[in-house]
């Protein structure tokens, strides 16, 4: 389905992954499994435990906690740390980026990432922001999967004027990892992802908190009687707090806009329940079932 013309030479000679968690380690695992992405992979992480574990797992060829040292001589750099770290990381690596290097990221917000990184990008370096729409609730170097991105999307938001060859390198990398790519405007990305990813996480964190706030004996019952409905929310709510804190704070406007729309619709549903408006309730649930069915159909296509 995702045919990629394999290049004789890998895309990058020296590829640096900064942040070797779920996403960073999935890229390195995929790069190893499928080939054609990098001759040498350099792993950089500020957590000594993550770095040591990455080395134990053999996820790269070189390991360092110093981002400036990591990027020296690299022709590809991908930021895979939480988005709240990107401004400081960009500032730290900028003077050490080699001419012709392609700088990318995997951050879940795109306007903030571009605002944070662009001012530091040297004129002879191309910046190609990307966001793979794939993940799990797990974090860290052990959580990565070579096929995490297979059959998923990676959304690219290159600033106007970005060299086409640099964009194609990042697109080719994602295609080798099994993803489909699309280019879009960062503001559009942030609104779309706010409704399909950020708001669902906000709701999941909130519903778990609300259930947990319930008094003593009920609290026990919540856990005792939690079947798949509540459990589905807890899977999402088990995601990394630092990553999600940064996402919420860095996609504030779009998230609050989607939350306001959601609140209106939730109020309308609550009013229908109060008034006994059976048709309204049934109609909304039917619409939701159709959405679920269309997602399953897309996955199976
Ligand atoms: N988890 C997902 O479902 C998912 C999906 C798509 C994109 N993303 C994005 O990918 C990025 C990473 O997410 P993840 O799930 O892999 O997180 P993770 O928590 O699994 O890994 C993040 C890693 O970054 C390291 N790190 C933190 N600050 C650093 C710094 N200043 N310099 C170097 N390393 C640093 C941490 O030690 C950790 O090893 C985030 O920006 C997130 O928004 C996540
Ligand atoms: O599958 C999950 O557990 C995820 O939360 C993955 C998910 C999503 O919401 O779909 C989370 C954040 C990302 O930026 C992209 C994907």
In the chain the domains, ranked by start, together with CATH numbers, are 12-184 (3.40.50.720), 188-297 (1.10.3660.10)
Q: Is the CB of 148 under 6 A from ligand 1?
A: no
Question: Is the per-residue pLDDT at 295 higher than 90?
Answer: no
5: CB partners within 8 A, 6+ apart: none
Q: Is the CB of 136 under 6 A from ligand 2?
A: yes
Q: Is the CB of 27 under 6 A from ligand 1?
A: no
Return the ligand number nearest the Cα of 246: 1
Q: Is the CB of 112 under 6 A from ligand 1?
A: no
For residue range 23-35, list pLDDT tens digits in order: 999 999 999 999 9
pLDDT for position 128: 98
pLDDT for position 199: 98
Question: Is the per-residue pLDDT at 139 higher than 60?
Answer: yes
pLDDT confidence band for 6 (50 / 70 / 90): low
Return the ligand number nearest the Cα of 243: 1
Q: What is the mean pLDDT of residues 100-109?
A: 98
pLDDT for position 7: 52
| 3-state class (DSSP) for residue 221 | helix
Return the ligand number nearest the Cα of 87: 1
Q: Is the CB of 42 under 6 A from ligand 1?
A: no
**Residue with CA nearest ligand 2 atom 6:** 135
Tally Cβ neighbours within 10 Å of residue 222: 14
User: Tokens 């048709």 belong to which residue?
Assistant: 279
pLDDT for position 8: 67
**Residue with CA nearest ligand 1 atom 5:** 135
CA of 100 to the centre of ligand 1 (A): 25
Taken in order 289, 291, 292, 293, the sign of the CA dihedral is positive
pLDDT for position 33: 97
DSSP state of 151: T
Rounded Cα gap, residues 301 and 294, in angstroms: 10
Q: Which of 7-21, 66-80, 83-97, 219-233 has the lowest mean pLDDT?
A: 219-233
Q: Is the CB of 133 under 6 A from ligand 2?
A: yes
Q: Please report the atom of ligand 1 found closest to the CA of residue 85.
A: 31
HSE at residue 75, side-chain half, CA atoms within 13 A, is 14
Return the ligand number nearest the Cα of 22: 1
Q: What percent of the chain has pLDDT over 90?
A: 85
Interface pTM (ipTM) of the complex?
0.99
CA of 269 to the centre of ligand 1 (A): 37
pLDDT for position 5: 53
Q: Please report the atom of ligand 2 found closest to the CA of residue 235.
A: 3
């Amino acid at each position: 389905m995702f045919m990629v013309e394999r290049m004789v030479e890998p895309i990058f000679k020296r590829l640096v992954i900064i942040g070797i968690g779920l996403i960073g380690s999935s890229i390195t695992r995929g790069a190893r499994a499928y080939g054609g992405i990098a001759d040498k992979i350099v792993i950089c992480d500020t957590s000594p435990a993550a770095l040591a574990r990455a080395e134990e797992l053999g996820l790269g060829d070189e390991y360092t906690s110093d981002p400036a040292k990591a990027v020296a001589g690299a022709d590809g750099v991908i930021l895979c740390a939480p988005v709240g770290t990107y401004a400081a990381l960009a500032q730290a690596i900028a003077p050490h980026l080699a001419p012709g290097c392609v700088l990318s990221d995997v951050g879940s917000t795109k306007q903030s990432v571009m605002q944070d990184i662009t001012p530091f990008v040297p004129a002879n370096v191309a910046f190609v922001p990307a966001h793979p729409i794939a993940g799990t609730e797990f974090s860290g170097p052990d959580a990565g999967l070579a096929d995490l991105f297979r059959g998923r999307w990676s959304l690219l938001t290159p600033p106007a004027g970005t060299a086409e060859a640099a964009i194609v390198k990042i697109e080719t990398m994602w295609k080798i990892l099994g993803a489909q790519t699309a280019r879009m405007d960062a503001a559009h990305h942030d609104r779309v992802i706010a409704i399909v990813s950020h708001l669902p996480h906000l709701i999941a964190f909130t519903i778990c908190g609300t259930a947990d706030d319930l008094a003593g004996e009920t609290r026990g019952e919540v856990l005792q009687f939690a079947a798949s409905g509540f459990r589905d929310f807890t899977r999402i709510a088990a995601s990394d707090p630092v990553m999600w804190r940064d996402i919420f704070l860095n996609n504030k406007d779009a998230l609050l806009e989607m939350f306001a729309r959601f609140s209106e619709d939730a109020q309308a549903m609550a009013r229908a329940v109060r008034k006994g408006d059976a048709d309204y309730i049934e109609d909304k649930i039917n619409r939701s079932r159709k959405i679920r069915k269309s997602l399953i159909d897309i996955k199976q296509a």
